[in-house]
Chain A
Amino acid sequence: MVVLIPLAKIAIAISILLFIVTYLVYFERKISAWIQDRIGPNRVGPYGLLQSPADVLKLFFKEDIVPSAATKFVHSLAPVISLTVAMSTYAVIPFGPDIEIFGQKVRLIVADVDVGILFILAFASIGVYGLTLSGWASNNKYSLLGGLRSSAQMISYELSMGISVVGVLILAGSLRIYDIINSQQGWMWNAFIQPIGFITFVVAAFAETNRLPFDLPEAEPELVGGYHTEYSSLKFAMFFLAEYANMIIASCLITTLYLGGWHLPFIDSATLSYGLMPLISVMIFVAKVLFLLFFFIWVRWSIPRFRYDQLMNLGWKVMLPLSLLNLMWVALLVYFFKI
């Protein structure tokens, strides 16, 4: 039992992840189409629902091209790094309160580590290696530029992201994600208490996941495909998967850190039967994450890409001071109100 439960949790987490990614791609295409007054994929299966599996199948059968001038080992290593990092970050993200199965207390998290947030930030930084190495190993000027941009962008935005998170940590008094969520019961969502930190974190999350308006490492019009220009077949699929997995992580993270995890103001106070509560909590959590994922896609199809100098200006001259301001605000709150 001791081994079985974590294994089951890992299996469930990964299959849910893959399922969500598949349909995230589908909805990305659908929503982009709707926003542009089009219909979107609707030919493969009913309502085009089998489009994404078909795409994956297609990628399976494509030839895997490695440029002759590429550094072969690193070239194949890079997508693996991206994907592994993206997948393992899920381990520390909880998606519901404790539940009881067969008299056993089960936490809805793969690994409840004490340094949860730190773990996520650390892994997010490793993820950059995937992009940078792929850009360097491809031996292609566009890829290299994409890789360089991604590393510069990550460094600039990770800073403000980290400082925004510190505000949350001060309020929660713990690095453990459970404690952070439980410190936001009722209306005490961090998004309301520290709105500036919320905004800086969301913007930094967009930059970290390489989504528009910060998708400079890819930037199709200027860099062809950026870091993944020279990738094809399954290696490309891995990058693709990693990007969407990162999006889900970012959404989960925003939900846990700022939107109160599985807490909703009125549900907590309502007297619900004990058995129903975990189910509703998980549903609330998933609903929040899905809304954020929609938000990610929605923003992508609304806002144009930043220019590189604008990106750097925003990162260092706006985001960093703002997140520091937020930190001071939280410190003052704690000092005066002893929240």
Chain B
Amino acid sequence: MGHVRARSRPSAGALAVLGLAVIFFVLPLAATVQFSLQHGSQAITLAPYQEIVSDPLFWGSLQFSVTMALLTIVLGMLVVVPAAYWVRLRLPQAHGVVEFICLLPFVVPGVVLAIGLARAYGSGNAGPLSNFQVLLVGAYTVLSLPFLFRAVDSGLRAIDVRTLTEAALSLGAGWPAVLWRVVLPNIRAGLLAGAFLVFAIVLGEYTIASLLGFSTLGVYTELEGAAHAHAAAALVVLSFALVWSCIGLMQIVSGGGTRMLEGGGAR
């Protein structure tokens, strides 16, 4: 009962914190929206949005960033999922080391990473990595390691990896079937959470992209902001909406399975 009452009548302290949080998040956003629609005291206009939407550079950078994000997600998952799975299954003693390695990108500033990468691989004799697009995806994959590993690993922790794997093997499943039919479906929520984080990070990334000379959405936003303040505000609102629709989309996609389970539970 106490729990229910606490819920229906939150304490004054909780309300204050919530209010501060709302102000902290909503005020800048509201100001940005307002700034993107109004020049000073003039009438509201959608002109900045038209400017953005009609700029082919915007569409080009958006397409490029989305492509990079998707490639990063695929490459990151290909690296992280088997590694995290194998560590849980066969090398639990290596868990700490692997987690530490995956956290390293947090300690290396983006500028250092970008310049280091360009110097190491930019000379033209580093095979496919001499191609800066490949290099960019590689850099983004490294950047997303901490998020991906955390998300995948917590998904794996929630299931009995060893027993499920052995059950599948005893039923005649080979390793690809174990991963595809048993491991992946059972860590789907973790995979989606990780994928979303990577998507949002790559879409907003500026430092590495600009140092390697690419026009990503992040770089375009910076340039636009320098040149046209109101259009830049409109761009921020647009990418904000884009990111949140991605969250919504993933909720729907991942919620499908969960809801099916819960619906069954009521039977």
To the question of whether A and B form a pair in one complex, the answer is no
Measured CB to CB, the residues of A under 8 A from B are none
